[in-house]
Amino acid sequence: MFENRLRPVVAGTHGAVASAHPLASQAGLDTLRNGGNAVDAVVSMAATLNVVEPYMSGVGGVGFLLLHLTDGPTRVLNFSGNTPAAATPDQFTPELQDVGPKACLIPGNVAGWFEALDSHGTQSATDVMSAAICLAEQGFPLHPLNAQIIEKTLPRLNPAGRAIYGKQPPRVGAVLRQPELAGTLRAIAQHGPDYFYRGPLAHRIADHIQAEGGLLSREDLAGYAPEWQEPISVTYRGFEVMTCPPNCEGFQMLQTLQLLEATDLRSLGHNSAEYIHLLSEAMKLATADRIHWCGDPKFHDIPLERLLSEDYAAARRQWMNPAVASKSEGERWSGSPTSDVVSPGKIDGLTTHLTAVDAVGNVASITQSLGNAFGCGVVVPGTGVAMNNFVFWTEIDPACPTPNLIQPGKRWSCCMSPLQVFRTPADGAVGRDFWFSIATPGSYGILQTTVQMLLNAVEFGADVQQAIEAPRFRLYEGTRMQIEDRVTEAARGELTARGHAVEPIGDYSMLVGGGQSVMIDPESGARLAGADPRRDGYALAY
């Protein structure tokens, strides 16, 4: 069913990791080998990605952790950032919400990394972050994707950023050194999150943003804290599928699965025209509900119990057109939709993903980001800190009726959605057994790509690498569908006949994400991992 793979599954008996860069994965694996657990390993990778993928994520960014503990509950750590107190819709234009000092939310990554380590880690921050500090100080050779993205996105950067990343032509094999970032990471590791949120670095960041006309203040940084939350889940084909609650938009993935469960997907054939059509129809309905309902539950009531109920799924399923492509509003709110697009139901980037599983079965999965490449383009002079631009993912039109309209202190409606799948124990015992974690970067495409990868494993028996490598598609406004060329020409032709505006995007395209996965084999207990060849991802195990 699945074509010849580009990479093998990576397997070991003790632990496995997967991230978007081989040097970050090596840092995570070394942490496991040196006695660390999955939390230590995933934070080590998260910090290292700041260095080897500086345009994707870092201390100026935000994220989510989905954490499964063998001797405790599965929990979510939300460090997705908040809007500065001075941020109101009238402060922004479309340009100002994307590039420049106004575009950043309060960064959450440092608070999230340290909260995870303090609550469930076993090693010191200095040990966990040592690989990141070393690579920033001594440098690392650029990989193809490094060179490509840095060259393409240099125009976004302020002078401080161009002095670091434009100092030499970005080419494969050129060594990138980031001594200012090394000093920042070393100080954070030694002094903890207070140094970033309330100490000298906080003052330096906030004062620079304010001086450049931005909104982030010392008070915004000082008041920030991450939050532990309960995950949300649905049952699909007897497996429990779990992700983060709103303000995370992960419930779109859960809704999509519920809409599909009434159909025998296997009988349709993997990536047949009928299969892709049905999946796209479910995605469009779930996307409409996500746009309409998702936001920060501290500011808006979100009827999540109703949205994820079986009777609601049954009612929404009636709107899935079995023959013709329905029209979608698109990936986000874009003004009042026309009457012929899929409507919500009635209720009475650039990003990176990384994951680790350890010897005792703890699993830590983080999705984190700066937003667009190098975030808002502001690198704070003397620190190496690139600030995020997640105001871009909020709505700034005061007429917007959705919960994602920007508001002081509010969390954005966040498409980053780590996901884990669990089996019911075979002996009927109470509880659940971890099976696999899978997720991807890719902006709103995250919510479509992750479902496709999950279905490859659950419905069609793919291993973790096959699930990631298999061809996939992404939906946009109207009936527009980007699809990889490895989907057969016959299937693409039939999709066109059904009304889909099909756009081939090559055999392996970054436009449909860059997934990472770890799995525990249910029979042998082996730790398996896979990573996406569409980007520079690598999986390692021992």
The catalytic residue positions are 351
Closest CA to 12 of 359, 274, 310: 359
Radius of gyration of the chain (CA): 22
CA distance 117 to 40: 7
CA distance 149 to 129: 25
C-beta pairs of 92-96 under 8 Å, 24+ apart in sequence: 92/391, 92/396, 92/406, 93/396, 94/396
Closest CA to 379 of 212, 220, 532: 212
Q: Is 194 exposed, middle or buried (0-12, 13-18, 19+ CB in 10 A)?
A: middle
CA distance 535 to 442: 11
What DSSP letter does each residue of 64-129 carry, written as one string? EEEEE-TTS-EEEEEE-----TT--GGG--TTTTTSSGGGPPPP-HHHHHHHHHHHH--S-HHHHT
Q: Is 304 exposed, middle or buried (0-12, 13-18, 19+ CB in 10 A)?
A: middle
Contact assessment for residue 61 and residue 369, using Cβ atoms and an 8 Å cutoff: yes
Contact assessment for residue 327 and residue 501, using Cβ atoms and an 8 Å cutoff: no
Residue whose structure tokens are 């109470």: 430
Decide: helix, strand or coil at residue 292: helix
Decide: helix, strand or coil at residue 2: coil
Residues contacting residue 464 through CB under 8 Å, at least 6 positions apart: 9, 436, 438, 457, 517, 518, 519, 528, 529, 530, 539
Contact assessment for residue 526 and residue 30, using Cβ atoms and an 8 Å cutoff: no
For 409: left if phi > 0, alpha if psi spans -120 to 50, otherwise beta; the answer is left
What is the DSSP code (8-state) at residue 286?
A: H
From residue 218, alpha-carbon distances to 210, 222, 224 in Å are 9, 6, 10
The tokens of 199 are what? 């100490």
Contact assessment for residue 348 and residue 26, using Cβ atoms and an 8 Å cutoff: no
Contact assessment for residue 68 and residue 54, using Cβ atoms and an 8 Å cutoff: no
